[in-house]
Structures are given as C-alpha cells and as structure tokens.
Amino acid sequence: MFGLAKQLFIERGGRISWKERRPCRWPLLAKGWKVGCFSYVDYAFAEMVLENISNADERTAAFLCHLSRSSREGHLCIKIEENKITPSPREMWFSENVEGETAELRELAENLSKGVSALPEQLFTDVEKETSAFPITPLCRYGCLYYFQKNWILESLFLDHFQKLLTSKPSLDINLEKARQQIASLQGRNQLNPQQASAIQHALTHSFSVITGGPGTGKTYTAGHLIKLFWESLDEEQKEKCVIVIAAPTGKAASNLQRSLQRATGEIEDYPPLQAKTLHSLLGIRRSTPLLDKPPPKLVADLILVDECSMIDVGIMAQLFTSVKKGEP
C-alpha cells in the first residue's frame, strides 16, 4: 500500500522516479550522491538554485551540495578561508558509509572554494553591505562565512536578543547577601563544590547563565539548588508574583527535568509546584507555524530554566530568546 501522494505520483509519472527520469546536469555530482557523498536532496537543491544559470560551474553546484548537507547536519554556515573549508568536505563526503570513491570526486571536494568564487552574484547577499535585516537571496555571505538565508536570519535574530539579555539586569532584585550566606553554608557542608557554587552565584546576579558538564556531573542537582536559593532569597511580596518556568526540547526530557527538580525543591516551604513543558508548548509553536511567521508571545516569567539545550536548533533558540522579557538596562 502506498500513501496518497506516492500513489498519485506513480499514476501520473509511472514507477520511474523523478530523479531517474530527469537528465543529470552534472554527471560527476550525480555519482557523488549515488555513492553516498551526500544526499539526493542536496543535489536537487543545487540543481534548483542553478536551474536558470546556463553556464553554472559544477564546482559551484558541489559547493551548494556541501552547504545543504552541512545545514542538515546542524552547521549554520560554511567557513572558507585561504582555501580551507569548514566543515571539511573531504571528511564529510568520504565517510565509512560511502560505497566507493573516485579521484575525480575527491578532487572536486578539494576544489569547492573555486566553486564559491564562481557563485553568481544574484544568488547571495553580502550582509556586511546590505542594510536589510531580511535578505531575499537564497544565500548570505558574511565575510568568509556562507549561510542559507533562513539560517542567517535566525542566527541574527538570536544574537540580537542574546546581546540585549547580556546587557540587562535581572528583572527581580533578590536578597543577594542571604543567597551568598546560604551558598557558603552549602559549601561548608560539602553539598556544593566550588564550580557549582560559582555557577549558582553567577546565575543569581546575571540575566543569562549556562551550566555545562558531562553526564553525571551534577547539572540538574546544581539547577535544583539554584531554584531553591533563588526562591528563598525573595521577600513575601516577590514570592506572590514570581513565576518560574522550566522547559526542555522534548516531552521525555521535560518529564525527567520535572522529576529531578521536584526532588531538589520538595522541602522548600510555600514553594509552588513545578510543571515542566516542552519548548514547543511553552512558546506556542505548532508544526504548521512558520518560525518567522510572527514574533512569539513574551514569557511572563522571572526565572526560566531550560534543560538539554544541545538539542535545540537555531529556530527554536531564536524564538526562545525573542520571548524572554528583559530586565532594566
């Protein structure tokens, strides 16, 4: 049984796929996706972008394939500096999954920088010269960095709000002296190590903090003490109005975070129960909602704790930072 879209495709075009019926414009690149250097979608993207450019260089098409694959694997851009390309096409194209390779394909991968120099000007915007915040070309260039237009816009949106957050004060003036005394007491009882104490101290005095570490290093344990000390450093009036939000990229991660933090904060007097949410739920994002369709609503929260941030893509991260209310400049 086929799905409706596939059934209609077969009825109208037969069982030969579109990519098999369509003549290959660049036979060497076509061999590249067939042996596994990159996906057919990367090749199709290059073909679509260069469709109306009759004299397009195959090395330019190869660069577009590499940019497409790099983006799919989480890289926001490609860096080309002194003929060195990051991420490396040599390392990315010729992995263990490649069924075979030829000297011509390896030579093509090593000469992608020449394809960039032949990139038609109508396909990219030099964002250092362009004043518009929303370039309309498929690609954007910032110095030696090359982006998809969407990735450039989302990264710029994220950095703009990130910089504003870094230069603003926390929205609540908590009792820092009380917090410092409690941190020192926890250290004295060996309940916090110096790194954990420093992380909590920073989080209580800045609008933005990152807690990092490998598995089992006590990140969630530290976050639990952070929330506990934050809450206990508020006066009664602040506690009545305070809103704490906890979230994670997936439902499973959100449930794990909620259980861990409930254990850490279970003994706090008058502490409101925490309900972890997925970031999609928190930000009101639906699968059918384009990320750049409209700004997300502002979060009415005084403390936002997000777990598993390494799983968050640039689109969701841009939405999150756009939604954070700012403190005093």
pLDDT of residue 202: 94
Dist CA 78 CA 60 (whole Å): 14
pLDDT tens, 182-208?
A: 999 999 999 999 999 999 999 999 999
Does residue 130 fall inside a structural domain?
A: no
Same domain, 179 and 300: yes
CATH number of domain containing 318: 3.40.50.300
Same domain, 319 and 171: yes
Does residue 136 fall inside a structural domain?
A: no
Question: Taking every pair of C-alpha atoms in the chain, what is the biggest distance, in angstroms?
Answer: 75
Q: What 3-state DSSP class applies to 166?
A: helix
Residue 306 tokens, joined: 């997000």
Does residue 203 fall inside a structural domain?
A: yes
For the segment 35-40, the average pLDDT, to the nearest whole number, is 88
Number of domains the chain is built from:
2
pLDDT of residue 145: 95
pLDDT tens, 164-185?
A: 888 888 888 899 999 999 999 9
Buried-state track 58-95, b at ≥16 Cβ within 10 A, e below 16: bbbbbbbbbbbbbbeeebbbbebeeeebebebeebbbe
Least confident of 52-56, 151-155, 218-222: 52-56
pLDDT of residue 118: 87
Selected residue with higher pLDDT from 142 and 36: 142
Does residue 47 fall inside a structural domain?
A: yes
Please tell me the number of Cα atoms within 13 Å of 70 on its side-chain side: 23
Q: What is the mean pLDDT of the chain?
A: 85
Find the domain containing 70 and state its range: 4-122
Residue 102 tokens, joined: 């030829």
pLDDT of residue 209: 93
> Of the segments 129-143, 148-162, 313-327, which one has the largest average pLDDT value?
148-162
pLDDT tens, 56-105?
A: 889 999 999 999 999 999 999 999 988 789 999 988 888 766 666 678 88
Does residue 127 fall inside a structural domain?
A: no
Closest CA to 282 of 227, 323, 231: 323
Dist CA 138 CA 153 (whole Å): 11
> How far lies 42's CA from each of 63, 139, 194, 269, in Å?
10, 15, 48, 56
Dist CA 227 CA 244 (whole Å): 9
Q: Write down which residue in 69, 102, 122 finishes a domain.
A: 122
Indicate the helix (H) or strand (E) that contains 125: strand 124-126
Closest CA to 63 of 128, 147, 125: 147
Does residue 274 fall inside a structural domain?
A: yes
Q: What 3-state DSSP class applies to 247?
A: strand
Q: Are 126 and 152 in contact (CB under 8 A)?
A: no
Question: 32 falls in which pLDDT band (50, 70, 90)?
Answer: confident
pLDDT of residue 83: 77
Residue 78 tokens, joined: 């490609």
Whether residue 23 has a cis bond before it, omega within 30° of 0: no
Same domain, 112 and 179: no
Closest CA to 113 of 69, 147, 83: 83
Checking if the pLDDT of 244 tops 70, the result is yes
Least confident of 123-132, 222-231, 315-324: 123-132
pLDDT of residue 106: 87
Checking if the pLDDT of 133 tops 90, the result is no
Question: 329 falls in which pLDDT band (50, 70, 90)?
Answer: very low
Same domain, 94 and 178: no
pLDDT of residue 104: 86
Beta bridge pairs of residue 148:
139
